[in-house]
Amino acid sequence: MSSPAEYYQSLPPISKAYGTLCLLFTAAYQLGVFDVVHIALIYKLVFSRFQVWRLITNFFFLGKFSINFGIRLLMIARYGVQLEKGPFDRRTADFLWMILFGAFSMLVLSAIPIFWSPFLGISLVFMLVYVWSREFPNAQINIYGLVTLKAFYLPWAMLALDVIFGSPLMPDLLGIIAGHLYYFLTVLHPLATGKTLLKTPRWVHKLVARWRIGAPAPTNNRVQPERTTGTAFRGRSYRLND
């Protein structure tokens, strides 16, 4: 059985970095290092006082230490890690681009008053859950020991539970919208038309290569995802290409 330090070291880079930053931001808040009002997404201050850091910092606050905070952190550790080690294995640039595209989509949607939320970290975590549910749609998930269902339905079940327990609806819904937009542009639309509308920009690949983030993509015997056709309930299968 591995130690906590060994487990932490084994985590893939993007999920590990994001989870660590979320933990550090909450710890700093609990210690009184800053007030959350200084990192919240407030567009008026972004544009009138050029406090552009708010466009980034709001994604790293998942709330104060609580059961809900622990659940969100565990969601990163499970669903984010499984995505990065599975469908995005040796595709660190693609995984990073998914995160960046999702964050940008949420910022745009949050400019609409009905979608606005001061902190989009929960939405970003929910996006990871949604994409995971589409990649592993037939996995069996047990929720709090009460009900077992297919992973395809997990985001909606989690959204319903959050509403029942009194959490805001919009952050979860925003994550689902951003996740579906990404999955539609990168999987569903290419399957239907043969054309890919959203590709990882070259500068993201260069950034990952320059900073040596994650394992390099192999040049031979690459494990590439094969999109399956037909039903929306299927995820991807994987084969070893020559």
At 170, give phi and psi (nearest 5°): -65, -40
Model confidence at 98, pLDDT cuts 50, 70, 90, reads very high
Q: What's the rounded mean pLDDT across residues 121-132?
A: 98
pTM above 0.85, yes or no: yes
Q: Which residues of 2-22 are buried (b: 16+ CB within 10 A; e: fewer)?
A: eeeeeeeeebbbbbbebbeeb
Which pLDDT tens digit goes with each residue over 204-220?
A: 999 999 999 987 776 54
The one-character DSSP state at 105 is H
For residue 218, the model assigns a pLDDT of 62
Walk me through the domains of the chain, giving residue ranges and CATH numbers: 8-211 (1.20.1540.10)
Q: What percent of the chain has pLDDT over 90?
A: 82
CA distance 77 to 68: 14
Provide the token pair at 161: 């539970």
**Do residues 205 and 81 lie in contact, with contact meaning Cβ atoms separated by under 8 Å?**
no
Decide if pLDDT at 230 tops 90: no
Which pLDDT tens digit goes with each residue over 106-119?
A: 999 999 999 999 99
Which pLDDT tens digit goes with each residue over 19-68?
A: 999 999 999 999 999 999 999 999 999 999 999 999 999 999 999 999 99
At 169, give phi and psi (nearest 5°): -75, -40
